[in-house]
Structure 1
């Protein structure tokens, strides 16, 4: 799967052929070996160009091969063969040179890149490191600090940045292969000894030990328990301190440790999960992704609070014309200023320069009459949203898609307020909407396939990871969050502290524990929802609360704090104390500890020692159990949908794959046993009662997570 031709008389051109990104499959590697031997042995050939077909150089390894016993020529000797050859080899980089593709290019003696090409070593995102010499050659070429940045983050660089770093020799706006051939002719017959990167001395930063100590400290802090970034630092340290051959041996050892790790399995599962959710389907297996989305050229956003502003920015940066509507003049002016600021900052970071021109502002609902799609983003109040949908249904032109940004309200109820309920879908953005990658696209009972397809396509255009989910209270993410938060509160009632719960969850890999996150988002947000649901007891502060709501255990702790005006960071007091309102530095609060002791005494609760295992199991297993219920109810089509939502929307550590993958790693039998144990201890907490789907999976021998979708499809087809 590599084509060989000879051009200009003396240049051998090897073209990689493995669409769509010319991944380095066994057949491609064999083709490179055979064609390289041919080029090196032909006396007429004085130099060689390696390129990829269809405007893409090489996207790296074929990840599907990771799940099998790899065959074909190994990558490392293949690249060494290219580098050690006597004839100059030029890499013609178009499209992408990622992972093994960039390592292949580093084995060449020269690199010519198209101006729109992207280069990078993203192996760390799969729980691995660049193990075909990437950790040894890159530091020798561009220096340790720059190489560490690329290797430990997996970020891509543009051709312009690659040229600045010294990663490529030339950048062109024209035909890259022609430019590479011309370059190859200019170096024909020249010695390549000085162009073999493996022979370079690695430029060492001053005070090498202190530099790497600091680098390791920073990587450990950012990676939150992920082992691949740490191994990347160790491999680059070997490049800086050892001869090339010994450095390669160290790279090989580190890769062997990573390759068989649970984290690598989790990250590779998540790689494929992201692709699975883009091929969205119903739980019964009917694929909706074949429905053709309708083009959206002009959109409207109704309501310019925090979410509405972020959505406006996301749409404008995606190239759409946006009508931003806020019916109050003062709020409209404030929103206009805020949106303009966000667009300016986005432009400085390399986004659309002309996005300012994409947004028009209005106080009138009539201004949305000619748009293709509306996203309503008013306050999370059903009566208000119903009124908005009634107005929109009358004002908008026929066929306009009507979308609501809601975190959990009933899409079907909103659809009944319109003339065409099939045009209504939910688009649940996450704050800040112009930054967060996740978008839950919620379909109701009467949402058309085209409406869902259009919302999914629009999400993709905004650079979101869109996941199609069914309609229920809280959808997927917030529905699962509820038992997770409940368990954290129950643990406080039983003797834990906010610091203990948060410490355990952050050690697991969450960016923030339950209580620090609650302080950040504001305790009053959930308080309003609970009041609307009739859960808040007006007598709670007097001590008359029975701690039971609607027949089940309920913790009023959050309500009691809100009654004290403790809303979190915004007021300087919440589950923690802060030096001033708005500060983000959380400190343990002696008042809160006394408050918990008094609360337990008032309700006859005896504080006990709670260990780390119980915190982790009760919080995570209750959340996972709700995930199984969501799968059973058909709200999500498969475990991948849930895992993608939790990693991108709720800070679940990526190196643990997502809650459903984590359940598979722990073992479904163990999850079931522990849930049964906790439910027996707390029979008034229904979220701890094991879901019947979990029981069925265990009874079926606990099939691996990638087979659950088929198992669930079978169950739904029998209903």
Structure 2
């Protein structure tokens, strides 16, 4: 709703009331329309101030109304009525003005913001564009280039930046409403012709065509197939080249296309799924979000390689005091230099002092004795990790949480080395740990709900999307990634080039293809893990025709053979691709790899066949999805949303496709099942192509929408 009260005699104060963010729901739009009508028709009201309740101006449209039949007042005429009013209307912006909230403010004649307020048009992140005049008014107000930057990225700006750009007219540290009321009184009765943004032309821009051509090229590259950023450029171009009314018509046409698109559905699904994953529960009914987390004020990180350094930075930025432990003196010195640099650069971007005093460095594990939580981040070796956890159990104070940054290893086995296994949990960070948003919180068979709650809460403090997952080889993300990577290598064996594999998946929306990603991560990482699990049988690069079957299933030795040739990936300057130097970033097809593959196929008696992009996409993506269904069967993830958020935030899955499980629902589960069965018949030695019981059950249940899957999942789990 919206409430109208009279203040300072002749000022009508309209307050939006729809907690927590005063979203523009039907009730709020009705309230605004009614109160504006009363204020404009009241001769004693000389000016109007619009504000929000509880320190928040307006968070924009009510996303819960999307996909429903929306009635009541439409936002665009309401904003037009504000702008055309002869009485000055001032927006008093506190907290934030986002999406439709900022569009509402742009319809006002003046905007005054509190210094701590944020402003932005984030519609593109939901697969939409600002379609209540935002794409037409903002370029007229601040210029085409600045408007393109904000609208195509959906980024937020501070009040100070908004003032610099010209979005707001004044920034204050005082009570924003009081300042706005005083300002409104000072302009009552003054002409408003120059304050109606829709009547203005965009500020002159040199070589407008070149600007839009460059913007479109940049957006297409960054969007990776997403429609909304492209439509945003088209809408802003309309603002720059067409009269306002025609621009609004173009905005509406573009919005109509986006609103009903599968991409918009996928992005809005991600919006809600990101919030859903925070409400985790185990199969036994324990819930982290109803368990009170332990207070964590100090932490330690053991092992200061690349991951450990990033974890230190992420923890320090939350305000914790951190003990950074590395037993190798040179590694410790290098880590201190690198961590200091990361903290200084991050602080410089924010304009604050770096929190260098919050981290201390030590070469002794004994120095962690007094901390509340320890994150072990040493090399992925079970024997080394078991030894450390046994030491930590003896050294740490009672109640201290012991966490492992493992990507694949058994949390229960690590916990068995301690006196209190209920205090042990996995915290699987993703590189670089201080940047990547995903955190897999892995609960072992004896991890307490309080321990999981503490790890989840700490992840939230670090700005992570924390997803609680069960304990198995690879957990969720890496377990699903394994058959995906297998398929990529199998198809290279069968005749596909590395470039075809990678280019197909980049076109699908991935930032990088799987083989290029292997080069970036280092081919030797997986090689060493396979050695530790006994997957290597000694017959790889040293054998004329290494075995393509290991432990009863098909296996590709190609990655192992590349490592044995010293091709460890980007860091070595060569892997699946060739780089100009060790550590170089530009990947080029390597004639050596082509010759190597031809020789390998000849020794194996393989005849290369033609593989197209459709097969690459289906075999990689549908195998990934199939393993996701098996994860759900096994209770390793609570629901499809958990899997999807892990892949969106940790594995560069294209967000506009909603995550692998959502994508399966959009493609249609019967089609996924049929194609898996087809490829399974062609590759009977690949168990990961065998469709999961849950997938078959869902298809037999009539292909229900994704939000109904949990009912079927419970039925399948009860039979395991």
TM-score (structure 1 length as normaliser): 0.99
CA–CA separation in structure 1 for the residues paired with 2:285 and 2:27: 34
Match of 1:624 in 2: 625
Unpaired segments ≥5 residues, structure 2: none
1:287 CA displacement: 3.5
Match of 2:148 in 1: 148
Match of 2:713 in 1: 712
Q: Deviations over 1:207-233 (max 9, x none)?
A: 111111111111101111101000000
Q: Deviations over 1:359-392 (max 9, x none)?
A: 1111122211111111111111111111111111
**Match status 1:257 vs 2:263:** no
Q: Deviations over 1:506-542 (max 9, x none)?
A: 0000000011111111111111111111122323222
Pairwise mapping of residues 6-155 of structure 1 onto structure 2 (< 5 A)? 6-155=6-155
1:717 CA displacement: 5.1
CA–CA separation in structure 2 for the residues paired with 1:688 and 1:715: 19
TM-score (structure 2 length as normaliser): 0.99
1:192 CA displacement: 1.6
**Match status 1:191 vs 2:191:** yes
CA distance 1:593–1:124, change in 2 (3 Å): same
Match of 1:635 in 2: 636
Contact 1:150 1:156 in 2 (8 A): yes
* Aligned length in residues: 719
CA–CA separation in structure 1 for the residues paired with 2:684 and 2:716: 28
Match of 2:272 in 1: 272
SS in 1 for 2:427: strand
Q: Deviations over 1:73-109 (max 9, x none)?
A: 1110110011111111110111110000000000000
Match of 1:170 in 2: 170
**Match status 1:674 vs 2:675:** yes
Match of 2:549 in 1: 548
SS in 1 for 2:490: helix
CA–CA separation in structure 2 for the residues paired with 1:31 and 1:691: 52
Match of 2:560 in 1: 559
Q: Deviations over 1:29-68 (max 9, x none)?
A: 0000000001111111111111111000000000010021
1:285 CA displacement: 5.8
Contact 2:118 2:157 in 1 (8 A): yes
**Match status 1:312 vs 2:304:** no
RMSD: 1.1
SS in 2 for 1:67: coil
SS in 2 for 1:349: helix
SS in 2 for 1:468: strand
Contact 2:294 2:454 in 1 (8 A): yes
1:351 CA displacement: 7.1
SS in 1 for 2:54: helix
CA–CA separation in structure 2 for the residues paired with 1:186 and 1:443: 61
Pairwise mapping of residues 395-544 of structure 1 onto structure 2 (< 5 A)? 395-541=395-541, 542-544=543-545
CA–CA separation in structure 2 for the residues paired with 1:678 and 1:718: 27
Match of 1:572 in 2: 573
Contact 2:326 2:363 in 1 (8 A): yes
CA–CA separation in structure 1 for the residues paired with 2:566 and 2:379: 22
**Match status 1:377 vs 2:377:** yes
Which deviates the most, 239-248 or 584-593?
A: 584-593
Which deviates the most, 349-358 or 88-97?
A: 349-358
Contact 2:318 2:461 in 1 (8 A): yes
CA distance 1:2–1:285, change in 2 (3 Å): farther
SS in 2 for 1:54: coil
Contact 1:537 1:545 in 2 (8 A): no
CA–CA separation in structure 2 for the residues paired with 1:710 and 1:118: 40
Match of 2:239 in 1: 239
CA–CA separation in structure 2 for the residues paired with 1:718 and 1:24: 46
SS in 2 for 1:5: strand
1:570 CA displacement: 1.2
1:695 CA displacement: 0.3
Match of 1:644 in 2: 645
Which deviates the most, 324-333 or 155-164?
A: 324-333
1:634 CA displacement: 0.2
Match of 1:368 in 2: 368
